[in-house]
Chain A
Amino acid sequence: MTVIEMAASSEALKKYPFLVGADSYVAGLSLSNIGQYPRLLALVERKVRYLLKLSEVPVQVEDKRDAVALFGASLALVSASGNRRMIRTFALALSRELEENLARDMPKNYVQVAASLGIRAEYKNSFFEMRLPDYLKLKGIDNDPELLLPQLPLKRGVVRLSPNVFRLLISRVFRKAITEKMEGDMPTLRRASLDESLREVINSVALDFTKKRGEELDVSSVSPVESLFPPCVKFWASEMKKGINIPHQARFLVATFLLSLEMSVDEVLEYFKQTPDYDERIARYQVEDLAGEKGSGKKYSVPRCDTLRTSGVCVCKEGLCSHMSHPLLYYRISVEKKLKGDKFAGTECSKLLSRVLSRSGPRAPRNTGISEKRVRFSAAGQKRDDQAHVFRWTFLSEELPNCSTAFSRLFLHSLIPTPLRTRHER
């Protein structure tokens, strides 16, 4: 069956409304005229609300054209909200839905779904095979250890993936693609003159979403607290204060990190003044360049953790760091914790918890919507001073906002990762 033929099949389109050729079913429909289709608009709103967990009612679609229209319109609606956090949440939920649909499908059908997303793979002997250059060009697959190359069988330029791993790969690529699509369309859609009824829907969803998730902590609004900096920034900053020349990538990290906390160029330069090769004129030019005040006008962003690991600038893999993907995330969590009186509460907390669970939790399947399903796990602590500590925590969805006590213990003593792993391996 070719991709187009598959796209024509109603069942396939209901599950995978982004298949190649699918858009031919909704030619002529756009956000500017969706107001003329009240039934569809209502469907879109219900779907978006459901995926953002603002409503408990799942949306069933009977018609393939509805499914395709729903997909495109819901992306546009979320994008038009201009809320990046909502975009990310929606993309994650949609990608999980895709992963679940794939899990219920036969592996041989994955190839066509993957192809629609630009993933070239072959299905052979119950495994998927990708050419290495094709694999290397994929986006969005760097945050899951099981998707990284050393964990995969690799021989003569062919990467082999099990159906489980391939499903995860498809879902990650999909998530990245729709996130980029929504973020890319955001500026245009926000300016576009939209139908009054559509604007109302967008605004009410966005409002409810913000209310539910709580305001994301804007770290740049809090004056920088050095003691809460991630270990890498702390380490390299202190090396410079001691008058030691540090690698270029480490300087880049420190400068971009400080700039991202809305520090001025002068404040940032203070950190560099003790280095032996300090030259005010050159340093100022470089920091201004990073801040986007010079030349290209491009503001450089703080490198991600995997980049720092590759270049050897990362100095810590323990505790909170073992769950981090970005230095600023570490800082946000630390600040949040500080603001809430040393308790891990708030949005970053719950995100982190779901990450901890999905990575090391023996009882938490990857697709568990943490706030929906009850996730329980228990962990036996190690023996210490001849006294056995047994920790038993049960996290229920209702307790998530108050996960503070157990959570602060988790990181203050770095206890959870070890016992969890111990149990996992047994």
Chain B
Amino acid sequence: MNAKGWIGSEIVFDFDADHMKELRGKPNVKGGLLAEADWKVVKAKVEQLVDDFLLQDFGIDENDITINFSGNRGFHVRVRSSDYMDLGQEGRRRLVSYINGADLDVDAVAARLRSRKRVRDLAFSQPGWMERIRRKIEDEKLSLEDAVAQASLDVDENVVLDLHRLIRHTNTLHAGTGLVVMPVARDSLDEFVPYEDAMIKTEEEVRIRLKDLRAFEGVDVAGIVLSPSMSSEVVRLPISLAIFLTLKGLAELVEG
């Protein structure tokens, strides 16, 4: 038993629509289904993390990064690189504080912006945060405050810092949706449609009775656009879609 012990853990970033301030307060977001526009918000954050931070700044090998559809309302980004597996909480905290800008010395940046041109150019030519801020300010004409806000990314630090967190395994079914937790390549993230691509492919059909759909008008589920007029309708659907709608509380199984 002496060999028992912590070996390491991946660095995991959890992007869940429930915790995004941009999506807070939208009626169909909390616990329900996401519309395409909402998925765009979630995907944009994943892209920012992977492109700007993990690849560009941290130089993590593309092959060590996995983007997983979480099976419900977001994505997990997992870094599985031998360089980082044994990183402790302190090091992970530094990563989070880099990504969300908490460790950025904004006063010092402001001071440099006011300094003479040569000093300023020198300071802002350095790759990483400075370069990013310079681009936002010079190319996009943003104020310093907005530049910092746009260049930073809120990540759930509890998930990153937790060295013992369990994360849903790839290619398993999410118990709350019946959707497949599946890897999505960075290049195909844009085209990925969760309510279609993550359904188990099956021909078998069952009958379900739809419930009140008022809150989900216009949401596209595997090609079926939900509308309030469908409420109480009995339909025959592929078993995976039927499971999904039933687990989401939008339908009930009909006997026979």
Contacts and interface: CB of A to CB of B under 8 A. Distances in A.
A151 interface: yes
Contact of B128 (A146, A150, A311): A150
Given A148-B103, A425-B111, A136 B95 contact: yes
Nearest to A140: B90
Given A133-B83, A154-B127, A155-B128, A148 B90 contact: no
Nearest to A424: B111
Contacts of A142: 90, 94
A137 B111 CA distance: 30
B90 A132 contact: no
Interface in A145-164: 145-146, 148-158, 160
Contact of B105 (A145, A156, A310, A311): A145
A155 B108 contact: no
Nearest to B60: A157
Contacts of A389: none
B108 A132 contact: no
B57 to A, nearest CB: 5
Contacts of B94: 136, 142, 148-149
Given A132-B59, A155-B57, A158-B59, A150 B105 contact: yes
Given A158-B59, A309-B102, A310-B157, A153 B96 contact: no
Given A148-B97, A150-B103, A310-B100, A137 B88 contact: yes
Nearest to B110: A425
B111 A151 contact: no
Interface residues of A, number: 29
A137 B91 contact: yes
Given A136-B91, A137-B91, A149 B98 contact: yes
Given A150-B101, A153-B126, A310-B97, A145 B108 contact: yes
Contacts of A160: 126
A150 B90 contact: no
Nearest to B151: A150
B56 A310 contact: no
Given A424-B111, A425-B115, A151 B98 contact: no
A137 B90 CA distance: 8
Interface string B85-128: 00110111111111011111101100100110000000000111
B98 A153 contact: no
B130 A155 contact: no
A137 B88 CA distance: 7
Contacts of B103: 145, 148-151, 306
A412 to B, nearest CB: 22
A363 interface: no
B90 A139 contact: yes
Contacts of B91: 133, 136-137
A156 B59 contact: yes
A311 B58 contact: no
| Most chain B CB neighbours (cut-off 10 Å) among A136, A145, A155, A158 | A136
B59 A421 contact: no
Interface string A268-308: 00000000000000000000000000000000000000110
Nearest to A152: B128
A156 B83 CA distance: 14
Contacts of A133: 83-84, 87, 91
Nearest to B91: A136
B192 interface: no
A157 B58 contact: yes
Contacts of A148: 94, 97, 103-105
A133 B101 CA distance: 19
Nearest to B160: A310
A234 B57 CA distance: 38
Given A133-B87, A139-B90, A311-B157, A306 B127 contact: no
Given A136-B95, A150-B98, A311-B157, A155 B105 contact: no
B159 to A, nearest CB: 12
Given A148-B103, A148-B105, A306 B95 contact: no
B129 interface: yes
Contacts of A139: 90
Interface string B118-160: 0000000011111000000000000000000000000001100
Nearest to B114: A425
A150 B97 CA distance: 9
Contact of A155 (B59, B98, B100): B59
Interface string B54-65: 001111100000
A258 to B, nearest CB: 23
A150 B126 CA distance: 11
Contacts of B96: 310
Contact of A310 (B83, B93, B107): B93
Contacts of A151: 103-105, 108, 129
Contacts of B111: 421, 424-425
Interface in B61-91: 83-84, 87-88, 90-91
B97 A132 contact: no
A393 to B, nearest CB: 22
Contacts of B127: 153-155
Contacts of A153: 126-128, 130
A310 B102 contact: yes
28 contacts: A131-B83, A133-B91, A136-B87, A136-B92, A137-B91, A145-B108, A148-B105, A149-B94, A149-B98, A150-B101, A151-B103, A151-B108, A153-B128, A155-B128, A156-B56, A157-B59, A157-B60, A160-B126, A306-B93, A306-B103, A307-B93, A310-B93, A310-B96, A310-B97, A310-B102, A311-B158, A421-B107, A424-B111
Interface of B: 56-60, 83-84, 87-88, 90-98, 100-105, 107-108, 111, 114-115, 126-130, 157-158
What are the 9 tightest A-B residue pairs by CB atom distance, in nearest-first order?
A157-B59, A156-B59, A136-B91, A154-B128, A153-B126, A155-B127, A133-B83, A150-B104, A150-B129
Interface of A: 131-133, 136-137, 139, 142, 145-146, 148-158, 160, 306-307, 309-311, 421, 424-425
Given A149-B128, A154-B127, A158-B59, 5 more contacts: A149-B103, A150-B97, A155-B56, A155-B127, A157-B60
